[in-house]
Amino acid sequence: MFIKGLITTGTIFLLFSFIRIWVLQDRLPEYLPQPFYQIPTNPINNDTVQLGRLLFYDNILSVNNTVSCASCHSPFNAFAHTDHDLSHGVFDSIGTRNAPGLFNLAWQEEFMWDGAIHHIEAQALAPLHDQREMGSSINDLIEKLQKSDFYKVEFLKVYKDSIINSSRALKALAAFELSLVSFDSKYDKMRGGRASFTAQEKAGYVLFKNHCSRCHKEPLFSSNTYEDNGLPIDSLLNDMGREVVSGRKEDRYKFNVPTLRNLSFTYPYMHDGRFKKLRQVLDHYGTIDNQVLMRNSGIKAPIFLSLDDGADLVSFLLTLNDKSFVFNPDNAFPKKLLPKTKDK
Amino acid sequence: MFFYSSLTCATDKTELVFFLFKDSVISTPIRLSSDDSLSVLRFYISDLQITKNKKVLWKDSVRHRLIDFEKGSFNQKSARILFPLNVLGDHVSFLLGVGEKTAARGIGEGDLDPIKGMYWTWQSGYINFKMEGVSSNSPSRKNKFLLHLGGYKKTLNTNQKVSLSIRNPDINISFDLNKFLYEINFKERHTIMSPCQAAVDLSLLAKACFYVH
């Protein structure tokens, strides 16, 4: 009886793991371009990903143990930050930019609104060291991790020895982030022949291809380029965008084209979070000085959007929401971090 | 001259010595003159090798080394790298910096660990050469100067190949601090914290300051 029970649980467990692997592979449609970074397979059984997940949700990363990566990148907002237009860090400090959603990062070569970060493993150094974000340093973090009995065990599990260093911590964080893959929207189902668009969604899709897809390129809905989409300059922030990194005048006010997937979860919009609603975004594109936009971005046809067009476009954009990604418990706060189980 | 160099021999190895300072006891910051001082001098060298007639005789087994005169080696007064005694080359060469490929990759370990303070955090990439101190010529606050030279992309690449001819089996490489500090126009260039043309210019100057005795 007992043995039989064991065998059944074993089989169920095995089957379950297969399904997970199958589901993961199934999540990657064949119409995707080659990613820049390797996507960890089978995230839930991947120890490195799970270590990264712990770090991502742990306040230990900030100077006074109050802020985690998830404070600004919440799973229920496709890992963006919705309460604030500008990010909010330690000691109630306010940053200068809006926190973008985190998913499909493997297809993004550079990071941040201006592309200042050239490698996913190096990215975490920026919020760690920023006085307005986590106010800490990689040196402090590694020291804290080395003293933590909890992390001693977790690192040992992954690396089979007791070394805790920055490369390991940063690679683990990156692995978790790279495992955040979102390609299960209605749009993806439509492309995979598993769903079809309504008449309005179809009309919106046509408008999208005409006006938007040059910069927000399918299927990632970003072109990984830096563009000026004609937003008026916020004179208080006076964010120069890409010019800060490239030093080139022609890059002034250009920003990394953000993806349009999961927009229902990632509001507010734009690098400074100036728009709370999609409607406002479309109003912007509809009323934009097309001469300026065309000059700055090289787009050929002006964007004219009627009210009906706006509604159609929104209905298309909503097909890019991926609820199964946003509510996937495997990406959520890990129970292991609860005070009961973690060291004091 | 602030430093000279000398050679010590291990039994079957000889040493490649990166500058020895003259004073037997050196405290940080090094005093350059009554008004000038140096508190940090740190740089990467990569792909160190000894060649003869362009053929590689010896290649350092360590790809990237951080030469650090602030901590540790400051007190030892030199960075010593051992290589076999029987290597008799005509040139020693290395890259000043971590190189484009390594810079473009993610986070490294050992000397490449970002806890060494040689990695930019707000904008990624290694700092190839870092010098900080005080100079009466620097018009900045408290006459400080901060030179963080980095950048690896085509137009703003600060990785510089250094190749020096050698005559002896033992190799002493020095960095001419006098020349470096004398040729910088501190009035215009006292603070460099990101890839830029000034960083490229100074990396070329740094390249020209290495010499063999």
On whether both A169 and A239 belong to a single domain, the answer is no
Same domain flag for A176 and A91: yes
- Say if CB A104 and CB A182 are below 8 A apart: yes
Q: Which residues of B touch A48 (CB under 8 A)?
A: none
Same domain, A175 and A201: no
- Taking 80 as the threshold, does the pLDDT of residue A191 lie above it? yes
- Domain assignment present for residue A56? The answer is yes
Question: Which of A133-137, A289-293, B141-145: highest mean pLDDT?
Answer: A133-137
Whether residues A157 and A233 share a domain: the answer is no
Same domain, A108 and A216: no
A58 and A98 both lie in a single domain = yes
The predicted structure's pLDDT at residue B4: 28
Query: How many domains does chain A divide into?
Result: 2
Count of alpha carbons within 13 Å of A60, Cβ hemisphere only?
25
Q: What is the pLDDT of residues B49-66, one digit of tens each?
A: 989 999 999 888 889 999
* Tokens describing residue A67: 């802020």
Q: Check whether residue A191 and residue A315 sit in a common domain.
A: yes
A125 interfacial to chain B (CB closer than 8 Å): yes
- CATH number for A73: 1.10.760.10
**How far, rounded to the nearest angstrom, does the alpha carbon of residue A259 sit from its chain's CA centroid?**
9
Question: Across all residues in chain A, what is the average pLDDT?
Answer: 86
Residue A270 lies in a domain: yes
* pLDDT per residue as tens digits for the range A81-137: 887 777 677 666 777 789 999 999 999 999 999 999 999 999 999 999 988 888 889
Task: Give the model's pLDDT for residue B2.
Answer: 31
B20-32, pLDDT tens digit by residue?
333 322 223 344 5
Q: Please, what is the Cα angle at A171 between A169 and A172, to 5 degrees? A: 65
Q: How distant is the Cα of A166 from the closest Cα of chain B, in angstroms?
A: 7
- CB neighbour class for B70 (10 Å; exposed up to 12, middle 13-18, buried from 19): middle
CB contact under 8 A, B196 and A247: yes
Q: Does ipTM top 0.90?
A: no
Residue pair B196/B76 in contact (Cβ under 8 Å)? The answer is no
* A76 falls within a domain: yes
- Radius of gyration, CA atoms only, chain A: 22
- Does the structure show a pLDDT above 50 at B75? no
Residues A168 and A190 in one domain: no
pLDDT reading at A47 higher than 70:
yes
- Read off the pTM: 0.86
Rounded alpha-carbon distances, angstroms, from residue B56 to A104, A282, B60, B188: 44, 63, 11, 41
Residues paired with B96 in a beta bridge = B45, B160
> What is the spatial distance between Cα A222 and Cα A271, in angstroms, rounded to a whole number?
14
Residue at A18 is within a domain: no
- Contacts A126 to B, Cβ<8 Å: 121-122, 124
Cα–Cα distance, B37 to B132 (Å, whole number)? 9
- Domain definitions of chain B by residue range: 2-212
A170 lies in the same domain as A191: no
B171 — pLDDT class (breaks 50, 70, 90): confident
Tell me what pLDDT residue A95 has.
Answer: 74
Mean pLDDT of the B97-114 span = 92
Q: Tell me the C-alpha to C-alpha distance, in Å, between residue B209 and each of B23, B175, B187.
A: 21, 5, 21
Owning domain of residue A276: 186-321
A8 in any annotated domain? no
Determine whether the interchain pair A174/B106 forms a contact, defined as Cβ–Cβ distance below 8 Å: yes
pLDDT at A298: 60
Residue type, A255: F
* B81 against A259, higher pLDDT: A259
Query: How much is the average pLDDT of B71-92?
Result: 65
Q: Does A76 share its domain with A107?
A: yes
A116 contacts on B by Cβ (under 8 Å): 122-124
Interface test with A, best of B98, B100, B115 (most A CBs within 10 A): B115
Do A147 and A52 share a structural domain?
yes
Q: Is B84 helix (H, G, I), strand (E, B) or coil?
A: strand
Question: What's residue B21's pLDDT?
Answer: 36
Interface test with A, best of B100, B116, B122, B156 (most A CBs within 10 A): B122
The Cα of B132 is separated from the nearest Cα of chain A by a number of Å equal to 20
Q: Are residues A171 and A54 in the same domain?
A: yes
Mean pLDDT value of segment B165-170: 79
C-alpha torsion sign, points A318, A320, A324, A325: negative
Distance separating alpha carbons of residues A297 and A250, to the nearest angstrom: 11
